[in-house]
Structure 1
Amino acid sequence: MATTETTTKIDVEEAGPDKRTVAALTEVMTVLDSIGRARDALGLFLVNSSSGSEYLVDTSQGTCECPWQQYNPRQECKHRKRVAFATGERPIPEWIGADALDDQFGMHVDGEPRRAVADGSAAQARVDDGSVTDPAEDPFAVHSEDEPRTKRAQRESIDVAFLEQPGVYEVHSASDSRYEVDVLEETCTCPDTADRCKHLRRVDIEIREGLVPRPDGKLPDA
């Protein structure tokens, strides 16, 4: 297949000789770098697949717990490839079309996916449509200079609801977890040990944009 062609979900099975690369780009997987066994561990990532399997990838050692990797230790499994693409360590190749990428691409890691461009360099890619970053004027636009947790707060599926005065909100995350955020105390019940987790940042965005009541419980236009 010529590199000038674009791979879509229809012809993805014919996308070059390395089907593990295609699988790493198109299969439903979630890469996590700040939870469970990967929490506060440099180079460790958890990869959850659509089948419910979970594997630990160690990028510093070049290993993965998956059975395929155990039987093929000198090659790179699709989970290791997915981590490399999701974190921006390796640019997404030109031949993979934006509509073929998994919708979860890079949503739960601090890195930023990059897409290879025609001149051989790489540019940051929007997770939602796979295009080169050119944020629209909207509160959830991701900018290249944003901090990793701010990027997560902007692009992840997070529901925010005012809970009680003064300034307590309930946050329902994409993983179906629920946390309480106190914007006045700047605290969150999530396990993230950072000063300002993504949930706090998301609540701040929605208050600023008038999407939820202010800390005093009043509506934005009150």
Structure 2
Amino acid sequence: MATQNPSATTDRPEISDLPDRTEAALMEVMSVLDDIGLARGAPDLYLVVSSSGATYLVDTLEETCECPDDEHREVTCKHRRRVAFVTGERPIPGWVKRRKLDDGFGEHVDSEVRFSATDGGVAQARFDDGELTDPEDDPFAVHSDDEDRTKRAKREDMDISFLEKPGRYEVHSASGSVYEADVLAESCSCPDIAERCKHLRRVDIEIRDGLVPRPDGRLPDAN
């Protein structure tokens, strides 16, 4: 008589119920790099740096990894699984919380992490305070048709503060740089020569969502 798996009776299984390599791919400290060394300019190649400092090249087209586990066993190693998760190729189980994942999960890859939705679908999303934010309610949710600068405007850490009217804002970037963005003149002091840089786009998002004062200096709920 077969023994019943206890996890089969629960709606939200524990991380420990995942296959070992999948659990390692989600929780172990690794950095996935998509634009450095051999991976630079090669959309199918990724460098995965483990916590020990070992570096492996993952080829998503050939479905290979340089690690011994992948080369000598008929398995999908944790490095290939990690790349699939951080690039959105493979959705993370929807019940997996942000606090369970490696702190640097997907930090160096320009892709959207996806979560399996409870209705069987898949949602692109960002992490917010350890919880999955509903893309429909989130002004910073990344959509597949967003331009690259819009994606960066939504993803990157920026602090926006009203500077002076009409329509001038100060943008503190994650790198520590500070820029002035003028939403009326559609200009920014950053080096980006594009018509609308990521800083202007971020300011627009925060104005529309009522996170900063309007260009006239009035608070979002002011008449």
State the TM bucket, normalised to the shorter chain: 0.5 to 0.7
Consecutive aligned runs of 4 or more in structure 1 exceeding 6 Å deviation: 212-215
User: Kindly tell me: are residues 152 and 77 of structure 1, through their superposed partners in 2, closer, same or farther at Cα, counting changes over 3 Å?
Assistant: farther
Structure showing greater relative contact order (alpha-carbon pairs closer than 8 Å, 6 or more residues apart) = 1
Deviation of 1:84 after TM superposition, in Å, equals 0.6
Match of 2:122, as an amino acid? Answer: A
Structure 2: give runs of 5+ residues left out of the alignment: none
Write the mapping of 1:31-180 to structure 2, written as runs, cut at 5 A.
Answer: 31-33=32-34, 35-37=35-37, 38-49=39-50, 55-65=56-66, 69-70=67-68, 72-73=70-71, 75-93=75-93, 97-98=96-97, 99-117=99-117, 121-128=120-127, 129=130, 131=132, 133-136=134-137, 139-140=139-140, 142-145=141-144, 147=146, 149=148, 150-160=150-160, 171-173=172-174, 176=175, 178=177
Most deviating of 101-110 and 23-32: 101-110
Structure with max Cα Rg: 2
RMSD over aligned Cα atoms: 4.4
Deviation of 1:83 after TM superposition, in Å, equals 1.3
Deviations 1:72-126 (A, max 9, x none): 31533222111111222112236x532523454445544333333566x431153
1:26 equivalent in structure 2: 27
Match of 2:96, as an amino acid? Answer: G
| Contact 2:125 2:142 survives alignment (8 Å) | no
TM-score (norm 2): 0.61
Aligned length: 203
| Contact 1:123 1:132 survives alignment (8 Å) | no
User: Kindly tell me: are residues 180 and 30 of structure 1, through their superposed partners in 2, closer, same or farther at Cα, counting changes over 3 Å?
Assistant: farther
SS in structure 2 of the partner of residue 124 of structure 1? strand
